């Protein structure tokens, strides 16, 4: 029992190392994967997750485009009215680009999420529309950011980009960014997906007789995303049917839509044939599917559906299909309908404020092996110096083993909480080995100072003295690194977090254990 009590620090280290090994290797601890994720390919034999620069993939970090007016007095108008009135005063912005949110009894915020609308544009528009307002600033509201994050997540999941994550990050100066990370995917593909707003609407395009001549009229937005109760997955079509997305309309919209179809002649007797793509001036009545102001599908109506609408039966079972020109448009349509439109765009163009990076999976793979080799070589260099300096394996060997066990514990920790390992974290590991060995040298030198350490009492007092220096050094390292760990400087956060963790683990667990090991090797009374 005595041996157990004397060596509890060593035991603690062993427990930590074992627990970390378990977290690293046991299949039961494996971090949750998204449904149907093929991401396991990059995981290898351990539970470690790798960041984008080691596994390959795309990272995009950008603020949202928009200006916001705070404390706008709505003057009794509903948010919808405010939106329409403000939009009417803005050139280059649609009603869909203006969002009014009621935050108090008398008013709230108004944000405009169109490109090229400046703070003064919005202020002028508010003044012209007669709404008193507070400060007008760049950026959007917190709700809009949350909504954007949610919709982007949806879009990425539905596009089948497994393992993709979207989050909101805030810099120390209070700027908000949206951070999107998609492993294994090309930059351009991810950009295409997240850069489009994805606003979907259905227009009717139909001929009207006016003064004896035929003119075409286009009624916008007879259906919008909110009008659908269920939205199906994209279908390939076949047997003469083009690719499409099956949908069911809500009970509220169905009768209205049915009436509109009858009135505009889409649901005329015998159905309608649409030739919008071939010739807009001779076509029958059409329904147009519009995504971000681009027509992706145009179609008429089958005679049987038309007759069901004319009799009014359709509204009781309002299922419908939205046809598109090709299957990929149908997929995109389904994603956009399911996820909804982004309330604001990411500021990404050449003059935008965003950053993006892409690393090919092969490059990530070679970074992974290369950084392991680099780390190992650094460890060998440290070992070499330590061996040459002490010339005694029983001092030097435990030193290297202890320093390495710190890395094992940190790796286990990373695996346990699912923190992705990237190059910055690897740099952190190397820093930890560096500070770790430094401290072990202090312990060894202090303990072995002035000849033989015979009694345990002498050992203990020397060890305690050594620990003052180690504690002080650890505290300075933690203080030096903490700004990086807290400030979201993105790429270096992992470096700081793991250096700090390593120092803490070192001071609390591994370095005291090294002291015990050294004691049992050096003292005579045991």
Partner 1 sequence: MVTFEVPEVDYTRYTNRQLAAVPVAVLVVALLVIAGWYVATGAPVTPGLDFTGGTELRIAVDAPSDQAAREQIRAAFSEEPESIRSVPSDGTYVVTFKASDVGAAQLERQAEDAGFDIRSIDSVSASFGAETQRLALGGVALAFVGMSVLVFLLFRTFVPSIAVVLSAFSDIVIPVAMMNLLGIELSLGTVAALLMLIGYSVDSDILLNNHILRRSGDFYESTYRAMRTGVTMTLTSLAAMIVMTITATVFGIQLLSAIGTILVFGLAADLMNTYMLNLSLLRWYKYEGVAR
Name residues contacting partner 1, limited to 367-386 (CB under 8 A). 367, 370-371, 373-374, 377-382, 384-386
Residue closer to partner 1, measured from CB, 336 or 477: 477
Residue closer to partner 1, measured from CB, 123 or 430: 430
C-alpha span between 508 and 502 (Å, rounded): 10
Residue closer to partner 1, measured from CB, 421 or 496: 496
Residue closer to partner 1, measured from CB, 430 or 508: 430
Look up residue 32 and give its two tokens.
């949750």
Scanning the structure block, which residue is given the tokens 């299922």?
Answer: 319
396-435: contacts with partner 1 (CB under 8 A)? 423-424, 426-427, 430-431, 433-435
C-alpha span between 421 and 50 (Å, rounded): 5
Residue closer to partner 1, measured from CB, 61 or 197: 61
Residue closer to partner 1, measured from CB, 216 or 387: 387
Spell out the residues 6+ positions from residue 402 whose beta carbon is closer than 8 angstroms to its own.
Answer: 13, 436, 440, 510, 511, 513, 514, 517
Provide, rounded to whole angstroms, the least separation between the CB of residue 399 and partner 1. 10
Return the sign of the alpha-carbon dihedral for residues 125, 129, 135, 138. Answer: negative
Provide, rounded to whole angstroms, the least separation between the CB of residue 454 and partner 1. 20
Q: Which of 26, 106, 170, 188 binds partner 1 (CB under 8 A)?
A: 188
Task: Tell me whether strands 200-210 and 165-170 are parallel, antiparallel or unpaired.
Answer: unpaired
C-alpha span between 390 and 345 (Å, rounded): 62
129-158: contacts with partner 1 (CB under 8 A)? none
C-alpha span between 276 and 325 (Å, rounded): 12
Provide, rounded to whole angstroms, the least separation between the CB of residue 98 and partner 1. 25
197-256: contacts with partner 1 (CB under 8 A)? none
Provide, rounded to whole angstroms, the least separation between the CB of residue 135 and partner 1. 21
454-493: contacts with partner 1 (CB under 8 A)? 465, 468-469, 472-473, 475-477, 479-484, 487, 489, 491-492
What x-and-dash track marks residues 60-79 binding partner 1 by CB under 8 A? -x------------------
Spell out the residues 6+ positions from residue 430 whose beta carbon is closer than 8 angstroms to its own.
Answer: 374, 375, 378
Q: Which of 114, 499, 509, 510 binds partner 1 (CB under 8 A)?
A: 499
Spell out the residues 6+ positions from residue 126 whose beta carbon is closer than 8 angstroms to its own.
Answer: 69, 72, 86, 89, 110, 133, 136
Q: Which of 238, 279, 388, 525 binds partner 1 (CB under 8 A)?
A: 388
**The CA-based dihedral angle spanning residues 278, 279, 284, 288, taken in that order and rounded to the nearest 10 degrees:** 70
Residue closer to partner 1, measured from CB, 30 or 487: 487
List 181's β-bridge partners, or say none.
59, 165
Q: Which of 245, 289, 341, 359 binds partner 1 (CB under 8 A)?
A: 359
Provide, rounded to whole angstroms, the least separation between the CB of residue 129 and partner 1. 31
Q: Tell me the backbone φ, ψ of residue 265, rounded to 5 degrees.
A: 90, 0
Q: Which of 81, 143, 259, 356 binds partner 1 (CB under 8 A)?
A: 356
Residue closer to partner 1, measured from CB, 249 or 518: 518
Provide, rounded to whole angstroms, the least separation between the CB of residue 508 and partner 1. 17
* Helices marked H in 26-102: 52-55, 79-89
Scanning the structure block, which residue is given the tokens 């460890």?
Answer: 379
C-alpha span between 473 and 438 (Å, rounded): 10
Decide: is 437 part of the binding site for partner 1 (CB under 8 A).
Answer: yes
168-187: contacts with partner 1 (CB under 8 A)? 171-173, 175, 187
Selected range binding partner 1 among 133-141, 150-158, 288-296, 345-353, rule: CB under 8 A? 345-353
Look up residue 159 and give its two tokens.
């596009």
Number of residues that bind partner 1 (CB under 8 A): 79
**The CA-based dihedral angle spanning residues 37, 41, 47, 52, taken in that order and rounded to the nearest 10 degrees:** -80
Could you tell me how many residues make up the chain? Answer: 526
Task: Tell me whether strands 213-224 and 98-102 are parallel, antiparallel or unpaired.
Answer: unpaired
Residue closer to partner 1, measured from CB, 87 or 399: 399
Q: Which of 350, 451, 524, 525 binds partner 1 (CB under 8 A)?
A: 350
The DSSP code sequence of 331-346 is HHHHHHHHH---SS-B
Selected range binding partner 1 among 22-30, 103-111, 318-326, 358-366, rule: CB under 8 A? 358-366
C-alpha span between 91 and 81 (Å, rounded): 18
Residue closer to partner 1, measured from CB, 295 or 448: 448
Task: Tell me whether strands 319-323 and 107-112 are parallel, antiparallel or unpaired.
Answer: unpaired
Selected range binding partner 1 among 153-161, 256-264, 280-288, 354-362, rule: CB under 8 A? 354-362
């Amino acid at each position: 029992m005595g041996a157990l009590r004397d060596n509890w620090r060593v035991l603690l280290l062993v427990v930590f190392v074992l627990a970390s090994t378990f977290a690293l290797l046991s299949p039961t601890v494996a971090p949750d994967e998204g449904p149907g994720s093929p991401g396991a390919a990059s995981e290898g034999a351990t539970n470690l997750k790798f960041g984008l620069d080691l596994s390959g993939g795309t990272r995009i970090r950008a603020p949202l485009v928009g200006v916001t007016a705070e404390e706008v007095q709505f003057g009794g108008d509903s948010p919808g009215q405010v939106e329409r009135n403000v939009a009417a005063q803005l050139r280059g912005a649609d009603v869909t680009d203006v969002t009014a949110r009621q935050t108090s009894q008398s008013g709230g915020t108004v944000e405009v999420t169109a490109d090229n609308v400046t703070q003064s544009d919005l202020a002028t528009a508010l003044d012209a529309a007669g709404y008193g307002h507070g400060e007008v600033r760049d950026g959007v509201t917190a709700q809009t950011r949350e909504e954007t994050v949610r919709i982007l997540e949806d879009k990425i999941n539905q596009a089948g980009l497994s393992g993709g994550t979207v989050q909101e990050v805030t810099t120390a100066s209070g700027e908000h960014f949206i951070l999107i990370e998609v492993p294994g995917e090309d930059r351009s593909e991810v950009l295409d997906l997240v850069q489009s707003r994805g606003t979907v609407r259905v227009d009717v395009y139909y001929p009207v007789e006016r003064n004896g001549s035929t003119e075409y009229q286009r009624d916008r937005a007879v259906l919008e995303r909110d009008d659908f109760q269920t939205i199906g997955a994209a279908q390939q079509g076949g047997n003469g049917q083009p690719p499409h997305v099956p949908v069911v309309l809500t009970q509220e919209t169905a009768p209205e839509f049915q009436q509109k179809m009858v009135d505009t002649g889409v649901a005329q007797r015998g159905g309608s044939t649409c030739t919008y793509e071939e010739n807009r001036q001779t076509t029958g009545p059409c329904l147009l599917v519009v995504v971000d102001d681009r027509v992706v599908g145009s179609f008429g109506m089958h005679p049987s559906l038309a007759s069901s609408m004319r009799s009014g039966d359709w509204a009781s079972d309002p299922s419908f299909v939205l046809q598109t020109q090709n299957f990929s448009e149908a997929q995109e349509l389904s994603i956009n309908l399911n996820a909804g439109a982004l309330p604001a765009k990411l500021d990404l163009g050449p003059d935008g404020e965003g950053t993006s990076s892409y690393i090919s999976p092969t490059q990530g793979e070679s970074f992974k092996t290369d950084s392991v080799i680099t780390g190992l070589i650094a460890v060998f260099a440290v070992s070499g110096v330590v061996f040459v300096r002490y010339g005694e394996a029983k001092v030097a060997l435990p030193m290297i083993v202890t320093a390495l066990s710190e890395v094992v514990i940190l790796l286990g920790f990373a695996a346990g909480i699912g923190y992705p390992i990237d190059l910055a974290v690897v740099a952190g590991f190397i820093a930890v080995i560096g500070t770790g060995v430094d401290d072990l040298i202090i312990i060894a030198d202090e303990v072995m100072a002035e000849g033989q350490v015979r009694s345990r009492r002498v050992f203990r007092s020397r060890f305690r003295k050594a620990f003052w220096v180690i504690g002080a050094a650890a505290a300075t390292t933690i203080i030096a690194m903490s700004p990086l760990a807290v400030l979201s400087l993105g790429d270096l956060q992992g470096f700081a977090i793991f250096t700090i963790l390593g120092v803490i683990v070192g001071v609390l667990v591994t370095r005291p254990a090294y002291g015990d090991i050294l004691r049992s090797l050096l003292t005579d009374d045991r």
